[in-house]
Amino acid sequence: MSTVCYTQEGAVGVVTVDRPKALNALNSEVLDELRRTFEAIDLETVRCVVVTGAGEKSFVAGADIGEMSSLTRAEGEAFGKKGNDLFRMIETFPIPVIAAVNGYALGGGCELALCCDIRICSENAQFGQPEVGLGITPGFGGTQRLVRAVGPGRAKEMIYTARSIKAEDALRAGLVNAVYPLAELMPAAMKLAGNIAKNAPIAVRACKKAINEGTQLDMDSAVALEEKLFGSCFETEDQREGMQAFLEKRKVEGFKNR
């Protein structure tokens, strides 16, 4: 692929948007290659994914304005659906996805980060939805996920003013979990991903499903969903090994993902 790179380190997959000369802006080619990359991830061996951008300036600086500038109404709606379908796929991906935000995360870049399970960023990161300054709305889920991440008041201020916020403000707002010097960002992301990957994969997947789906349900339905997922874990070898190791006061010898 020409715009997306994929590598695997142990049980961690790393997806890198690779258009540094364009600040990793999202065009149709990038969206298509991101989809194909995620579809090709081996869920038998990969237990966590890290998404980042190439270079030191930008995670993803937004969608490609050159491509969008001449779209018709129907074409604009279709482009929005392409991005939304991809980001929804990432949001509901069976295993956790971490955004390692190394610089600008604007427009579609902020929306890409928002569809990930966990966000960490470098000190030079900036987040924003500048679309109204271009005469459009956010199109890849920004009006929905930003509200859920930071609350309606903060989200509306960011979207209506088109102003970006810096890393420390993003941390205070709860948009990111941690801020690191740029050189330490990827090591921190890989360490976090490794800590997730060492746990029982089926249980981690069940937790993601419970959280993602449960937040859309009333409490009675949500805890019923959790009960079913909790029960399903008792059919796994990993549950038996995890509890046996605890009872025998030893470390787990290695979860088998079955």
Rounded CA Rg of the chain: 19
| 44 three-class SS | coil
Tokens of 87: 């980001």
Q: Are 23 and 57 in contact (CB under 8 A)?
A: yes
Nearest to 66 by CA among 94, 93, 103, 27: 27
Task: Given the residues 9, 131, 184, 235, select the one marked as catalytic.
Answer: 131
Q: What distance in Å separates the CA atoms of residue 210 and residue 207, rounded to the nearest whole number?
A: 5
The question of whether 131 is a catalytic residue gets the answer yes
Task: Given the residues 9, 67, 111, 157, select the one marked as catalytic.
Answer: 111
DSSP state letters, 238-253: HHHHHHHHHHTT----
Describe the crossing of helices 201-214 and 219-232 by its angle, rounded to 10 degrees. 170
The question of whether 237 is a catalytic residue gets the answer no
- Active-site residue numbers? 111, 131
